[in-house]
């Protein structure tokens, strides 16, 4: 999914207008998307194996 | 004239031991001992002058709930002037006193590296199959929160009520650039449909406006009055409301803008600026939950203003302050950097927050989590997104997701590595650090405002350090050049 559409999805209609007016060229957008794709590939490699167990077992005592 | 905004950050890190029974206190002790024992003979912390129960509003909490310090736990002072210890069930790193926001970024990042190095050192002594992971965040996503506390030197003469009046609106509104981001909410009854993502780690946990507590009924403005220096001249504003930041720009702005606001309060340059909120605690949470940054907050005088607008007003005052009074109190050059970055970031937040994904933690995390969510078609409730959130904060370079985002640096690797062992040059931390480097085996104990020497002959000798801006390289480098032994140093200092 193109980067700009992702942005819009996450924000409300009020910021949508602003995003639409962005002067970002499609070249920049493509570069961003490629970077993000690389990042997501990398994340898949390093993400803790069992996400559910990882999140469940991460229990801390409250601190200050 | 405002006093120099000497500053520091204390970070409680999350810790987990895998492959064995995870006792956080044991794991934290092991972690710190592994690091320290490799480096040097450990110098113990001296608790004589600690009084965390004192209240800035002028009264003291007595009785059974007084100091919460557990003196038997691991406690070390490092040669960079920092304190590294076990606090409750967390490893905690307190930076040395720094002279400005940029220096503090370096020493805060040095802390991350010290924790990462400690993990490696601990691996050598852990049984096979066991490992320790450490997270620089503020919650376990189950309602348990641990803190990242900022500290700022202030003039004792400034009425505390004036500090509260101006600093509270800043704490609420600064979240738009200080937040470390969080998937979901831990506030009771708030669903992920209502709050799929929020700006900060900590906003869910604050329930009061002003108070002394740090663990229960947390207040937005903490009143702990424990200056760790000359208490007639100074106070230390203890700020518990912030997040643990990994992004250097976030830390820089968090400390830089707050230092500026406090300097302006001291010089009474915020006179007439009334951004008091009608409902500060609710507003604080509202700002954290509002990803559009557009929802107005109700002010006490009936006006309505967004956090962004509040920040613009404060920045406007700060620019005028720079013109009329100069920025010496926050470091002239660094102060200028703060103003420029502050304006650039507010502009970015107004135009398109996602343009700041290379600078601010919450924006970077949100972008990463959303992209992952889209790619895998996940719901906001999916544990994978919670896992991404946690792993963003992993201090192990091989595991850290933050480290993969290539965010803007304000420091160099060399500077940060240097800050792991070398003290700041422009505060009393310099004297502490240099003494530890040269004569660690003769120092019986250390704390923020004194060093205790054991020369093996006479009684222990305490060197008071009540002025945070004395003991700098400019003050004491010549002493270190002429004194070859700690006895000579004590003689030169006239300590008895």
Question: Do the interacting molecules here have an ipTM over 0.95?
Answer: no
Contact B390 A54 (CB under 8 A): yes
The whole-chain average pLDDT of chain B stands at 93
Which residues 6+ apart lie within 8 Å of B102 measured at CB? Answer: B252, B256, B331, B334, B337, B410
Name residues 385-404 of chain B within 8 A of A (Cβ). 386-388, 390-391, 398-399, 401, 404
Residue A31 structural domain:
24-59
Contact B294 A55 (CB under 8 A): no
Pick the CATH number of B7-418 from 3.30.2310, 3.30.590, 1.10.10, 3.30.450: 3.30.590
| Res A48: pLDDT | 84
> Is the pLDDT reported for residue B75 higher than 90?
no
pLDDT digits (tens, 9 = 90+) for B240-249: 999 999 999 9
The answer as to whether A48 is a domain residue is yes
Domain range summary for chain B, segments of one domain joined by +? 7-418, 425-493
Whether B384 contacts chain A with CB within 8 A:
yes
Total count of domains within chain A: 1
The answer as to whether A40 is a domain residue is yes
| Res B67: pLDDT | 32
Candidates A36, A48, A62; nearest CB to B371: A36
The answer as to whether A2 is a domain residue is no
pLDDT band at B361 (very low <50, low <70, confident <90, very high): very high
pLDDT digits (tens, 9 = 90+) for B393-446: 999 999 999 999 999 999 999 999 999 999 999 999 999 999 999 999 899 999
| Whole-number Å distance between alpha carbons of B483 and B43 | 21
The answer as to whether A16 is a domain residue is no
Q: Answer for the pair B336, A1: CB distance below 8 angstroms, yes or no.
A: no
User: Is B290 labeled as catalytic in the residue annotation?
Assistant: no
- Catalytic residue (choose from B87, B121, B290, B449): B87
Provide the sign of the torsion angle of the four alpha carbons B246, B247, B249, B254, taken in this order: negative
> Is the pLDDT reported for residue A8 higher than 80?
no
Name residues 97-136 of chain B within 8 A of A (Cβ). 135
> Is the pLDDT reported for residue B274 higher than 60?
yes
Selected residue with higher pLDDT from B132 and B125: B132
Task: Record the tokens describing residue B100, joined without a space.
Answer: 């400005």
| Res B41: pLDDT | 52
Q: Which residues of B touch A36 (CB under 8 A)?
A: 367, 371
> Is the pLDDT reported for residue B474 higher than 60?
yes
pLDDT digits (tens, 9 = 90+) for B275-307: 999 999 999 999 999 999 999 999 999 999 999
Task: Record the tokens describing residue B160, joined without a space.
Answer: 């505390």
Please state at what angle helix B473-482 crosses helix B429-439, rounded to 10 degrees: 20
Residue identified by tokens 């007439």 is B272
Q: What are phi and psi for residue B409, nearest 5 degrees? A: -105, 145
pTM, rounded to two decimals: 0.90
Q: Answer for the pair B93, B111: CB distance below 8 angstroms, yes or no.
A: yes
> Is the pLDDT reported for residue B59 higher than 70?
no
- Terminus-to-terminus CA distance in chain A, angstroms? 42
Nearest CA to B432 among B444, B447, B418?
A: B447
| Whole-number Å distance between alpha carbons of B384 and B183 | 11
Q: In B69-127, which ranges are continuous DSSP H helix?
A: 101-123
Contact B14 A57 (CB under 8 A): no
Selected residue with higher pLDDT from B106 and A2: B106
pLDDT digits (tens, 9 = 90+) for B477-488: 999 999 999 999
| Res A15: pLDDT | 41
Candidates B140, B147, B215; nearest CB to A58: B140
Q: Answer for the pair B401, A43: CB distance below 8 angstroms, yes or no.
A: yes
């Amino acid at each position: 999914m193109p980067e700009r559409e992702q942005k819009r999805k996450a924000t409300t209609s009020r910021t949508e207008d602003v995003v639409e007016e962005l002067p970002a060229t499609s070249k920049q957008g493509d570069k961003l998307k490629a970077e993000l794709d690389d990042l997501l590939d990398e994340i898949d490699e390093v993400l803790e194996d069992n996400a559910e167990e990882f999140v469940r077992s991460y229990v801390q005592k409250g601190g200050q | 004239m405002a006093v120099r905004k000497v500053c520091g950050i204390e970070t409680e890190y999350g810790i987990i031991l895998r492959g064995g029974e995870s006792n956080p206190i044991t794991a934290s002790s092991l972690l710190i001992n592994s690091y320290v024992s490799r480096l040097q003979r450990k110098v113990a912390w001296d608790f004589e002058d600690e009084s965390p129960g004192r209240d800035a509003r002028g009264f003291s909490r007595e009785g059974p709930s007084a100091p919460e310090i557990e003196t038997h736990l691991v406690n070390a002072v490092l040669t960079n002037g920092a304190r590294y210890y076990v606090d409750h069930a967390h490893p905690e790193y307190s930076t040395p006193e720094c002279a400005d926001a940029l220096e503090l970024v370096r020493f805060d990042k040095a802390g991350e590296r010290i924790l990462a190095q400690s993990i490696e050192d601990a691996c050598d002594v852990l049984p096979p199959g066991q490992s320790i992971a450490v997270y620089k965040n503020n919650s376990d996503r189950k309602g348990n929160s641990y803190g990242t506390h900022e500290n700022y030197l202030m003039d004792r003469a400034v009425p505390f009520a004036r500090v509260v009046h101006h600093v509270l609106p800043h704490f609420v509104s600064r979240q738009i650039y200080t937040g470390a981001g969080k998937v979901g909410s831990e506030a009771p009854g708030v669903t992920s449909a209502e709050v799929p993502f929020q700006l900060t780690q900590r906003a869910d946990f604050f329930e009061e406006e002003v108070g002394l507590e740090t663990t229960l009924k947390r207040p937005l403005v903490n009143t702990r009055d424990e200056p760790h220096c000359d208490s007639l001249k100074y106070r230390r504003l203890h700020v518990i409301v912030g997040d643990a930041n990994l992004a250097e720009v976030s830390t820089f702005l968090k400390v830089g803008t707050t230092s500026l606001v406090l300097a302006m309060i001291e010089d009474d340059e915020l006179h007439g600026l009334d951004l008091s909120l009608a409902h500060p605690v609710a507003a604080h949470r509202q700002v954290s939950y509002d990803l559009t940054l557009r929802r107005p907050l109700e002010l006490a005088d009936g006006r309505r203003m967004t956090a962004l607008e509040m920040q613009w007003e404060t920045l406007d005052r700060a620019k005028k302050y720079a013109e009329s009074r100069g920025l010496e109190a926050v470091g002239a050059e660094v102060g200028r950097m703060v103003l420029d970055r502050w304006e650039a970031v507010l502009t970015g937040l107004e135009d398109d927050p996602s343009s700041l994904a290379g600078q601010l933690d919450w924006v970077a995390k949100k972008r990463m989590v959303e992209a992952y969510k889209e790619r895998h078609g996940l719901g906001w409730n999916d544990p994978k997104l919670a896992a991404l959130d946690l792993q963003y904060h992993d201090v192990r370079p091989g595991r850290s997701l933050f480290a993969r985002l290539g965010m803007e640096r304000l420091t160099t690797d060399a500077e940060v590595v240097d800050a792991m062992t070398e003290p700041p040059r422009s505060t009393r931390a310099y004297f502490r650090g240099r003494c530890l480097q040269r004569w660690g085996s003769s120092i019986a104990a250390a704390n923020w405002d004194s060093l205790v020497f054991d020369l093996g002959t006479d009684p222990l000798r305490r060197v008071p350090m009540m002025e945070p801006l004395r003991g700098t390289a400019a003050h004491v480098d010549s002493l270190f050049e002429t004194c070859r032994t700690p006895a000579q140093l004590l003689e030169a200092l006239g300590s008895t």
